[in-house]
Amino acid sequence: MALAVLTAAGSGNRLGCEGPKALVELAGRTLLERAAEGLADAGVAALVVTAPEHDLEDFRRVLPGHVPTAPHVPVVLVAGGASRQASVAAGLEALPEAAALAGVDLGEDTPVLVHDAARCLTPPEVVARVVTAIEQGSLAVVPGLPVTDTLKEVAPESSQVGPAVLGHETLAGARPGGTPAGSTEARLPGEACDGDTHPEVRRVVGTPDRSHLWAVQTPQGFRWSVLLRAHEHGRDLAASESTAATDDAALVEALGLPVDMVRGDVLALKVTTRTDLLLAELLVARRPT
Ligand code: CTP
Ligand code: MG
């Protein structure tokens, strides 16, 4: 029997909503309800849900101690932390309580999922694939899809983008803010001059081989003992989103333990921006019932 931490304590800055993102409605139902029900539909026995500290009461109205459509699935609400990683760590502390409410024996090998409420349309089949992989011997499993875009590595925002240099010629005028077109002034690559900084232009420094790259989704699944160890080991990173791990599997990788990949689904998209919300609305409208 799998258990889950459902992360919902974010504020949704990039969505630009009033109040927490998890309480935003998608075709009449909150992201939070949809995500919790998806986990329950997939057979998850109990949930710990992370909520913003000041919104715990609103969350309790949506999830009154259990998943609304699955009263046999208990929900324990906890206040989240300063980063997603910190929220998951807070959720893990409450997992024994959730397991006890569901009558599940929480052992070292029990499959534990960590899922983003923002991925509220994740099909139960994806959840099942992750749980099955853990039950069949994986220590940690992530769902994902091969990337379809070509990806570029870019230089840090702080680095200046100067005019491109081709041989001895300066390709001035090829980008906004550069030396005026027609200038013959040559420059060495990386050599800065006044007015070269152009905040909207970043220099490409590499093109990774796309055939090895997958975009990762949630729920991610772990053996309970592995997830606990990974979070204990990475604890010092959790204080701020700028240092925190962006997914739990990265904390397992940092322990030197293997992480496996199973196929995700386009429906497991993360609602991050307005465009994502619009896309999710279209997907819900077209979903067979
Ligand atoms: N999350 C959390 N605790 C935090 C930050 C995020 O539980 N301190 C949760 C979010 O509620 C979300 C998931 O982690 O379900 C993924 O985070 P993200 O999509 O970044 O959501 P937000 O942090 O809310 O959005 P933003 O970064 O745009 O503010
Ligand atoms: Mg965030």
pLDDT tens for each residue of the chain, 289 residues long: 999 999 999 999 999 999 999 999 999 999 999 999 999 999 999 999 999 999 999 999 999 999 999 999 999 999 999 999 999 999 999 999 999 999 999 999 999 999 999 999 999 999 999 999 999 999 999 999 999 999 999 998 877 777 777 766 655 544 444 434 334 344 444 444 444 556 689 999 999 999 999 999 999 999 999 999 999 999 999 999 999 999 999 999 999 999 999 999 999 999 999 999 999 999 999 876 6
pLDDT at 161: 77
pLDDT at 151: 97
Candidate from 7, 39, 241, 275 with most ligand 1 atoms within 8 A of CB, to mutate:
7
pLDDT at 183: 41
Report the atom number in ligand 1 closest to the C-alpha of 86: 8
CB of 14 within 6 A of ligand 1: the answer is yes
* Ligand 2 mean position, distance from CA 10 (Å): 6
Say how far apart CA 64 and CA 78 lie, in whole Å: 13
pLDDT at 158: 76
pLDDT at 154: 96
Taking the CA atoms of the chain, what radius of gyration do you get in angstroms? 23
Q: pTM for the whole thing?
A: 0.90
Give the residue ranges of DSSP H helices in the chain: 31-41, 56-62, 84-93, 95-102, 124-135, 224-233, 248-254, 274-286
Tokens of 108: 């070292």
Q: Which residues pair with 144 in a beta bridge?
A: 216, 263
pLDDT at 186: 45
- Shortest-distance Cα residue to atom 6 of ligand 1: 10
pLDDT at 289: 61
The HSE-up count of residue 59 (CA atoms within 13 Å, CB side) is 29
Q: Is the dihedral of CA 171, 175, 178, 180 positive or negative?
A: positive
* Ligand 1 mean position, distance from CA 10 (Å): 4
Nearest ligand, measured from the Cα of 118: 1
pLDDT at 200: 85
- Which 3 state secondary structure label does DSSP give 12? coil
* Ligand 1 mean position, distance from CA 133 (Å): 26
Neighbours of ion ligand 2 (CB under 5 A): 10
* Ligand 2 mean position, distance from CA 260 (Å): 24
Nearest ligand, measured from the Cα of 5: 1
Give the residue ranges of DSSP H helices in 94-223: 95-102, 124-135
CA torsion 118-121-126-130 (nearest 10°) is 30
> Are β-strands 260-263 and 140-146 bridged in parallel, bridged antiparallel, or unpaired?
parallel
Nearest ligand, measured from the Cα of 10: 1
Tokens of 277: 């919300």
